[in-house]
Amino acid sequence: MLGRLINALLATLGAAAAGQAPAFQAQYRQQLAGRLDQARQDIAQLLREAEARGQTPEQFLQRAEQESGAYTRILVEDSRITLQAYQRLQEAYGALSNSDPVSRPFILLQHLDPKIASSVASHFQPALPLNLEGLAYAGIGLLIGVAFAALLEYAGRSIMRSLRRMKGKPYHGGQHSSSFRQQGH
């Protein structure tokens, strides 16, 4: 009875946790979009200057670095870092926005930014998985929970068998053998 209760509890917890994946992904994508907009604003002047000179942003920064002094090189390096962040965020946002529900978790993991994920996790708002995607994730979580419960049950039985063997008592699926009972034990 206790085993069934634990199985049901783990299955329910797995379904509830996995059912939150679409909500987490949506909130991650929203924060990613916000950071992408900020990075776009931060390098807007750079992009305009490079375009006005018929250069890529990278070419513009390379030329600025070659023609600048020590103080300007610091600004160029900051601009280069911002440009790289913008390009990385833009690539991640495009990949996530164009992904289907099946590939989205893998694409999210491929482009995961730990700072954004940490921010989403600290401000995460759970949601009920009432659409097909959320229910599919909940079903997968249910299966994972059941599998985890079965694994725990198997491990527990293996440990019990090992302990009984060490004590010299036979173990047969939780019941003593008939010869063991006949001996008066």
Average pLDDT for runs of 10 along the chain of length 185: 77 77 88 94 90 91 81 83 94 94 91 93 78 78 85 88 79 52 49
CA torsion 124-128-130-135 (nearest 10°) is 80
Last residue of one domain, picked from the residues 85, 104, 125:
125
Residues 6+ apart with CB under 8 A from 24: 120, 121, 124
Q: What is the H or E stretch that residue 147 is in? A: helix 132-167
pLDDT of 162 reads 87
Q: Residues 71, 105: one domain?
A: yes
Which 3-state string (H, E, C) describes 36-50? HHHHHHHCHHHHHHH
For residue 83, the one-letter residue type is L
Last residue of one domain, picked from the residues 125, 149, 166:
125
Q: Residues 101, 43: one domain?
A: yes
pLDDT of 148 reads 87
Residues 6+ apart with CB under 8 A from 117: 28
Asked whether residue 48 is domain-assigned, the answer is yes
Kindly report the backbone phi and psi dihedral angles of residue 184, in degrees, each rounded to the nearest multiple of 5, phi listed first: 90, 20
Which 3-state string (H, E, C) describes 88-146? HHHHHHHHHHCCCCCCHHHHHHHCCCHHHHHHHHHCCCCCCCCCHHHHHHHHHHHHHHH
Q: Residues 38, 15: one domain?
A: no
Q: Residues 57, 132: one domain?
A: no
Q: Is the pTM of this model over 0.75?
A: no
Indicate the number of domains in the chain.
2
Asked whether residue 182 is domain-assigned, the answer is no
Asked whether residue 181 is domain-assigned, the answer is no
Whole-number Å distance between alpha carbons of 147 and 38: 43
C-alpha closest to that of 27 among 101, 127, 171: 127
Q: Residues 10, 42: one domain?
A: no
Asked whether residue 184 is domain-assigned, the answer is no
**Neighbour count for residue 166 (Cβ, 10 Å):** 8
Q: Residues 38, 103: one domain?
A: yes
**Residue-range definition of the domain harbouring residue 100:** 28-125
pLDDT of 142 reads 81
Asked whether residue 185 is domain-assigned, the answer is no
pLDDT of 170 reads 58
Q: Residues 136, 158: one domain?
A: yes
20-58 core/surface letters (b: 16 or more CB in 10 A; e: else): bbbbbbebbbebbeebbeebeeebeebeeebeeeeeebe
